[in-house]
Each structure stands twice: as C-alpha cells, then as structure tokens.
Amino acid sequence: MKHTPGPWTVDVPPSSCLTTRFVSGPEGEHICKVGHMDWTSGSLHSDIANARLIAAAPEMAEALREVWDYLSTIADVSENSREIELGDSVRDILARLEG
C-alpha cells in the first residue's frame, strides 16, 4: 500500500469552527480531518499538534528509510549495542508503516 506523496500541510478550512484542521496533500487533497466536537480546554492545542505530526509523516518515513539504509550497512561491523537497538526500532517502525 502506498500513501499519498508529500509534502503534506495543515490547513484551517475557511468556514469551519476553530477546532478543525485538515491535513492536505500536495494537490490540496484531504488526507484527514483532525478536531473535536467540543470546546474542551486544551483540545485545540492537541489537535494542532496532532495535525502537525500527521502532516510530517511522509518526511519522517523517508528519514527513517535513510537511517535504516545507513544502519543496515554498518550493522555487520558494529558492536555498538545502541546502534543495534536503534536499527531494530527503525526496522519495526518501517514494518508498521509499510504493512
């Protein structure tokens, strides 16, 4: 399964309530809608942070692939347990991303 290519942006719909944010693809297509139906204290800040995190996903995925490529080239020669742990974490996250 392939995701919509980046970059993704966070947009505020012009006629929406203040609690709604859209994450949009490069052609303006909506990836997802982030928001609450209530005015709970702090929910707007969480929604904005969540939307920004989602919007950064394509770039984060690409960065993780680059980290994996690097770590996999040194894995055979590295005895650094931290590098091995990072490689395992990156591999597991990429497996979740790629299904």
In the chain, what percentage of residues exceed pLDDT 70? 82
Report DSSP state, residue 38.
Answer: S
Q: Assess whether pLDDT exceeds 60 at residue 5.
A: yes
**In the chain, where are the structural domains located?**
9-55, 59-98
Residue 17 clears pLDDT 80, i.e. is over it: no
d(CA 12, CA 99): 30
Per-residue pLDDT of 23-64, as tens digits, reads 999 999 999 988 866 666 567 778 888 899 999 999 999 999
Count the neighbouring beta carbons within 10 Å of the beta carbon of residue 21.
Answer: 23
Determine the 3-state secondary structure of 54 from DSSP.
helix
Query: Is the per-residue pLDDT at 96 higher than 80?
Result: yes
